[in-house]
């Protein structure tokens, strides 16, 4: 994820961030199944998606801790 995309995520609300997670989880599941089948040529894409998911979850957790 680029710095500009990360800045855009920081401006979103928690609900919007959670909506962004669903397509990423679906894409990750599809890539994993294609990886098993041998269809994936770019293995690094799995790592990039996992990293994006982790960054979004980190932002959500940070905002929840601030509320407490």
Predicted structure pTM score: 0.87
pLDDT tens, the chain, 68 aa long:
778 888 888 899 999 999 999 999 999 999 999 999 988 888 899 999 999 999 999 999 999 888 76
Query: What's the confidence (pLDDT) of residue 66?
Result: 85
Rounded Cα gap, residues 28 and 33, in angstroms: 9
Structure tokens at 29: 């599941």
pLDDT score at 53: 96
Residues 6+ apart with CB under 8 A from 63: 14
In the Cβ-directed half-sphere of 23, how many Cα atoms lie within 13 Å?
4
């Amino acid at each position: 994820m680029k710095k500009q995309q990360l800045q855009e995520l920081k401006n979103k609300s928690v609900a919007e961030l959670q909506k962004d997670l669903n397509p990423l989880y679906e894409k990750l599941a599809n890539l994993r199944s294609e990886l098993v089948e041998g269809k994936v040529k770019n293995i690094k894409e799995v790592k990039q998606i996992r990293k994006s998911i982790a960054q979004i979850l980190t932002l959500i957790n940070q905002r929840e801790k601030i509320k407490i």
